């Protein structure tokens, strides 16, 4: 069988299929289940400096081809989350802590105090005042936040980018200038749903972020654009639910991929993607490195 092991963004991974931030990443036990199910690495739910309850419900609604969420960054704060990371680490794969803050200093402070194998900077949540894409849509802020965390921590730093911008490449270049070890593309697309009987928005927060199959083509395009210009690796996320989706995202230029909303099908999705990807590489007599960015070399 072809090797699926890969070195991405400063981490050695046994395979390139990771658990994405936000889904089943709130406890050490659920993160461990993802590693036992075959994930090559796991990303936690985003963690901030103080506890947050999140937005009022409803926080999640199923829509055609996807999921709309406005969780609102609920988390217990980094002080109470270290124990969960320690449990997650017993799963034997790298644990990447997703962190958020409202300033470069707040990001840096969290990274100084949290012990994880890498950090993924959430500069892209589409529906949280003063956080996420409210900073992450400005290239200069992406650069300064990335630089501050790089200076404060000794582990690799990945930057998760927002698709809710005119040009995601500008954001990727800013992350690279700030010293990022990789960029992660994409977070959810800003979206909403309305109940037609009452006329009320369905989500408590009125609008939220769209994930799942509907956003895969948007993510593929973002990864393609980023991978063709950046020198650092691009980690692809957005709507991947099968090995075929993973192959497509890797062909677009993703060095590894993350799976989020597809976890609604169960933890078996990791094994399905890993074994399907492996069988595909064998059938085509390709290595993972040869597959990565193939579409860019053909255009």
DSSP per-residue codes, 5-70: -EEETTEEESSSEEEPTTSS-SSHHHHHHHHHTT-SEEEPPPB-SS-B--SPSP-EEEETTEEEE-
Of 73 and 185, nearer to ligand RRO (C-beta) is 73
Catalytic member of 32, 59, 65, 125 = 125
44 contacts 88 by C-beta, under 8 angstroms: yes
Of 42 and 125, nearer to ligand RRO (C-beta) is 125
Of 19 and 274, nearer to ligand RRO (C-beta) is 19
The yes or no reply on residue 15 touching ligand RRO (CB under 6 A) is no
Two tokens, residue 169 = 């490449």
Radius of gyration of the chain (CA): 18
- Strands laid side by side in the 60-63 sheet: 60-63, 66-69, 207-211, 189-192
Return the residues of window 43-82 that contact ligand RRO according to CB under 6 A.
46, 69-73
Residue 87 CB, shortest distance to ligand RRO, in Å, is 21
The yes or no reply on residue 187 touching ligand RRO (CB under 6 A) is yes
Return the residues of window 120-159 that contact ligand RRO according to CB under 6 A.
122, 124-125, 132
One residue of 9, 16, 209, 253 binding ligand RRO per CB under 6 A: 209
Residue 78 to residue 130: CA distance in whole angstroms: 18
126 contacts 208 by C-beta, under 8 angstroms: yes
Active site residue 32: no
Size of the site for ligand RRO (CB under 6 A): 14
Catalytic positions: 125
Q: Could you list the residues that contact ligand RRO (CB under 6 A)?
A: 22, 46, 69-73, 122, 124-125, 132, 187-188, 209
């Amino acid at each position: 069988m072809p090797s699926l092991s890969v070195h991405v963004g400063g981490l050695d991974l046994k395979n390139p299929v990771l658990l994405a931030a936000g889904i089943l990443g709130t406890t050490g036990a659920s993160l461990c289940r993802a590693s036992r199910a075959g994930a090559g690495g796991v990303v936690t739910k985003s963690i901030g400096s103080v506890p947050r309850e999140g937005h009022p419900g409803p926080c999640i609604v199923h829509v055609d081809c996807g999921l709309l969420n406005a969780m609102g960054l609920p988390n217990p704060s980094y002080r109470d989350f270290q124990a969960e990371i320690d449990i997650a680490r017993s799963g034997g794969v790298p644990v990447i802590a997703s962190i958020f803050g409202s300033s470069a200093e707040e990001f840096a402070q969290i990274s100084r105090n949290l012990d994880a194998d890498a950090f993924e900077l959430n500069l892209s949540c589409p529906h949280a005042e003063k956080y996420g894409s409210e900073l992450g849509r400005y290239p200069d802020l992406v650069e300064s936040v990335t630089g501050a965390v790089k200076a404060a921590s000794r582990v690799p730093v990945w930057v998760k980018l927002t698709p809710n911008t005119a040009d995601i490449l500008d954001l990727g270049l800013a992350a690279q200038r700030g010293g990022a070890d990789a960029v992660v593309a994409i977070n959810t697309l800003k979206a909403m749903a309305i109940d037609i009987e009452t006329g009320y928005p369905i989500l408590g927060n009125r609008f939220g972020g769209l994930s799942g199959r509907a956003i895969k083509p948007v993510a593929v395009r973002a990864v393609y654009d980023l991978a063709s210009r950046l020198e650092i690796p691009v980690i692809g996320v957005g709507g991947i639910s099968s090995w075929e989706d993973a192959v497509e995202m890797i062909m677009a230029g993703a060095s590894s991929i993350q799976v989020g909303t597809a976890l609604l099908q169960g933890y078996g999705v990791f094994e399905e993607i890993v074994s399907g990807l492996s069988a595909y590489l064998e059938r085509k007599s390709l290595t993972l490195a040869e597959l990565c960015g193939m579409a860019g070399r053909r255009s």
